[in-house]
A and B are shown apart, each in its own frame.
Chain A
């Protein structure tokens, strides 16, 4: 459509001219016979008492004052908002130290294990930070960070197996999945109690509990084991947290105890 045609169309469009008498009368009643009219009348009575105040208002209404006051208030608000934003946006020293360690190429290279670097502890003191971190199923490193230059200045590695705990939500999720399984119910009915719930990670969880051979690669943290105990016997329930189902249950009589030992050693049995 051409612009001239559109303008003609806009100018010539027939538009209804309506009136809702009922609404008009109702609104008039509210305005002139209701609380609004009374408040207006009350204001009239207070007119003299408010004259000094109005005098002040009139003085403030002078253009120069009004502009100066408005500008002052606006500047104050902007400054306050900026200060608050800077304060809120600034990361804490602990977060800065953790970030320095996570980004450090030397730390990244020296940390074995799988997955992202997990920060276990940060202690900031006198311009230095001690950061303990590790990757899943890997060694643990304690790094010293100079907070003034935000650099890792030294690091120590502690050999061992870092197994992060399940979150409370994941633990409850695992227990819920296990409890819904008929086989687990049957074991529980016999009097078995949940002993503990722990995570299982790719390098182990993909291992056959019978032969020890690798079955498949599973991302870390997607499976958990619920161990149940009755007298001296232990059942291990392998739960897939993502699929929401029990993958398998190892009976105490099965030849699979080394699987448990990988994590906890025979003393835990």
Chain B
């Protein structure tokens, strides 16, 4: 794995070139995809956690995100945008889909998820993570209020404040214009403020 590649969506030109080469290799060599996976697994899992405040659900979303990325990597077209932006977008869509069909089934859009649903091998880790999450009361409370907002506001607030993404990075992740994202953030915070009253 090249030292140039980091899990940030904002890369220097050299890092971007290195990542481009790695993605190109990953389109044909599973091991190269494994390098990308090592870089981005933790980032995507924690992004899902910030969006859902649910460990098990975040694991499912992470699984789906990488399964989709892996199965679609051959079709991925490099557009001088960090690979992370694509993964974030897949994860975001999965979270949004989950909330849209909430009350229904858990995520099962890819059959292989059944292989991953068995958490017996790492159930202790999951329990510990849930305990750790519950200790962050302020985040859990804020998340509860944020989850009452429309999905698009949830998305921009999570990326901006929890994921600490810059606006130009959010442009790459969400595929929206800078002005649109600023406006969504402004309205989202206003709506959240109303919910907090």
Contacts and interface: CB of A to CB of B under 8 A. Distances in A.
B129 interface: yes
Nearest to B73: A40
Interface string A25-36: 011101110111
A168 interface: no
A22 B66 contact: no
The secondary structure that dominates the B interface is helix
Contacts of B74: 40, 43
Contacts of A7: 161, 189
A63 to B, nearest CB: 13
Nearest to B50: A15
Interface in A19-76: 19-24, 26-28, 30-32, 34-37, 39-41, 43-44
A15 B121 contact: no
Interface in B56-111: 59, 62-63, 66-67, 70-71, 73-74
B121 A22 contact: yes
14 contacts: A3-B190, A6-B193, A9-B142, A10-B161, A10-B189, A13-B138, A16-B49, A16-B136, A19-B42, A20-B125, A23-B122, A27-B116, A28-B37, A31-B37
The secondary structure that dominates the A interface is helix
A14 B116 CA distance: 29
A44 B59 CA distance: 30
A242 interface: no
A1 B193 contact: yes
A21 B126 CA distance: 10
Query: Would you list the 4 A-B pairs with minimal beta carbon distance, nearest first?
Result: A22-B122, A10-B161, A37-B30, A18-B129
A26 B62 contact: no
B46 A17 contact: yes
A35 B116 CA distance: 13
B122 A21 contact: yes
Contacts of B73: 40
B157 to A, nearest CB: 7
Contacts of B162: 10, 13, 15
A23 B62 contact: yes
A11 interface: yes
Interface string B140-169: 001000000000000001000110000000
A54 to B, nearest CB: 10
A9 B157 CA distance: 12
Nearest to B129: A18
B55 interface: yes
